[in-house]
A and B are shown apart, each in its own frame.
Chain A
């Protein structure tokens, strides 16, 4: 899949009162066959909007894309035949049981009734839904429903599957199960494009990640590439107040071994090469200047650091 300058502007109101919201501003992406590609960003970053465009649920305001071998704008119908999609809301038919759901979904893709019936049974077994497959979906737990929804997304064996926040709201156990299932899809040869606001998900699951914020891509690459980009480990020091934080910032700002400093409220993130070895030095310096601290810690680079460096904000704060 490849996109070029994909944009979405939402226009509301008429005439003079027109209000334009640029939800997605010129997104360029390339997803290689067989990889799990993650789209990471905080809520409101434009992930779902981009996904809606790629799955033909929404028309881009400008830009182009090739999805699963077809031009998104010229042949949306062909795109629909090739892709699978699991929305954030899920979309399982609550008044039908798992078999009925899967059967209808398969048949909507033109699969014959006997073949569809076979696939339904296979998927029920594969996702371990036998226990509850006979009951209507409205009786399922969150995790069970999600399993059905994932099955619904792949019933026609698409080459490219879009998952919108696939594990949001799931308990840790279900989440771990899902990660295994998604990896299994990759083993089956599917390409997966997923959106998430969970760092761990992007980190553990994806081959490559694109970080999006306020409608633009701020970073793209494998986790390793991204973390190398921002270079280093960070020593995080928490101070008692603004004054101390400022003094420390001035103190460390002049040092060679500190590549970059980011201040966030009462914390300083010092990006260095050899964090472990330098903690002692940092403490010594603070002690010499008589700057008291609350806590000190060492953080190995994470995608949050990448996000923090590129946008000045942390993905973790305010999220659960």
Chain B
């Protein structure tokens, strides 16, 4: 337990000394909020809606994007593997699971901070959402963070190479993002796309958070979103620990 705390503090210090990661993770969604969201007012989606409604529809997607950004957590990890830092830690009595956990916790903290900043900006842009909705959505987003960073660490441990990690990450990231209804709701899409989205776990998460933001807590989508996300989280963490064990096999 103490080891996890020690490692976590170390990761935190490193993040603070290299704030570019925090800023990068924030910049994309914020830019979308400021430079893209206003356009929605003049499209078929937003034409008839008040600004508040547009913001309520759009912000959940932005939070999910930030959560998905945790997929890039592996890059600094690969670097640490290459430098022999991970090997050094593995030879100490520190638990292996604790190592991964401390990294994931650090990612969640970063994600939480970024989300809060985003929400504050959204509030200024007219966001009006029940507090419970935000809390529950935050839980979903943090689950995404755990999942995405775990996947990233699992892949990193297998490939140990930034180039391959980048290829995999980028190949996966965009289609998932587009098929989740982040930018515009999937309800606007043609049927074939709607059907594809059903296989994308993030579609359910985005829909769930939109329901939560609308104050609709008992929607079937909310249940599905949480269930699917929790399953995914367990899978991702299991893969990460397995990858770590394989590395020393």
| Residues of A participating in the B interface, judged by any CB pair closer than 8 Å | 55-59, 77, 80-81, 83, 85, 87-96, 100, 104-105, 107-110, 136, 152
A15 vs chain B, min Cβ distance (A): 19
Residues of B within 8 A of A96 (CB): 10, 13-14
Contact of B83 among A80, A91, A105, A152 (CB under 8 A): A91
Residue B82 lies at the interface, judged by CB distance under 8 Å to chain A = yes
Whether B91 is near chain A, meaning CB under 8 Å from some CB there, is yes
Min CB distance A69 to B, Å, is 15
Report A259 CB to chain B, min CB distance, Å.
45
Check if A80 sits within 8 Å of B92, measured CB to CB. yes
Q: Are A58 and B249 in contact (CB under 8 A)?
A: yes
Closest to B17 in A: A95
Please give, as numbers and ranges, the residues of chain A lying within 8 Å of B93 by CB-CB distance.
77, 80-81, 108-110
Q: State whether A108 and B89 are in contact (beta carbons under 8 Å apart), knowing that A58-B249, A59-B248, A93-B10 are contacts in the complex.
A: yes
Q: Which residues of B contact A91 (CB under 8 A)?
A: 83-85, 87-88
Q: Shortest CB–CB separation between residue B198 and chain A, in angstroms?
A: 32
- Report Cα–Cα, A307/B32, bound state, in Å: 65
Chain B positions 80-103 with a Cβ under 8 Å from a chain A Cβ: 82-85, 87-94
**B249: A residues at CB distance < 8 A:** 58-59
User: Which residues of chain A have C-beta atoms less than 8 A from B13's C-beta?
Assistant: 95-96, 100
Interface size class of B (residues with CB under 8 A): 20 to 34
Residues of chain B lying within 8 A (CB to CB) of residue A81: 93
The answer to whether A56 and B87 touch across the interface, beta carbons within 8 angstroms, is: no
Q: Which chain B residues border A77 with CB–CB below 8 Å?
A: 93
In the complex, the answer to whether B91 meets A80 with C-beta atoms within 8 Å is: yes
Q: How far does the Cβ of B235 sit from chain A's closest Cβ, in whole Å?
A: 22
A58 surroundings in chain B (CB, below 8 A): 248-249
Report the bound CA distance from A88 to B87 in whole Å. 10
Contacts of B6 in A (CB 8 A): 104, 107-108
The answer to whether the Cβ of B18 comes within 8 Å of any Cβ in the partner chain is: yes
> Complex: how many Å from CA A168 to CA B229?
48
A91, B82: Cα distance in complex, Å: 9
Residues B87 and A87 in contact, CB atoms below 8 Å apart: yes
Q: Is there contact, CB below 8 Å, between A108 and B87? A: no
For residue A55, which residues in chain B have a CB less than 8 angstroms away from its CB? 91
Q: B161-182 interface mask toward A, CB cutoff 8 Å, 1 = contact, 0 = none?
A: 0000000000000000000000
Name 12 extra pairs, CB < 8 A, besides A87-B88, A89-B83, A91-B85: A56-B248, A57-B87, A80-B92, A85-B91, A87-B87, A88-B84, A91-B87, A93-B14, A94-B85, A95-B17, A100-B13, A105-B88
- A105–B92 contact, CB under 8 A? yes
Within the assembled complex, what's the spacing in Å between the Cα atoms of A88 and B89? 14
Residues of chain B from 216 to 249 with CB closer than 8 A to chain A in the complex = 248-249
Contacts A/B (CB < 8 Å), 5 sampled: A55-B91, A80-B93, A85-B88, A105-B88, A108-B94
Separation of A59 and B248 alpha carbons in the complex (Å)? 6
Closest to A85 in B: B91
- Closest beta carbon of chain B to A144's beta carbon, Å: 15
**Assembly CA distance A136 to B87 (angstroms):** 20
Considering only CB atoms, which chain B residue lies closest to A156 in the complex?
B92
CA distance A69 to B17 in the complex (A): 41
Most central of B6, B92, B93 by chain A CB within 10 Å: B92
Q: Most chain-B CB neighbours within 10 Å: which of A88, A95, A136? A: A95
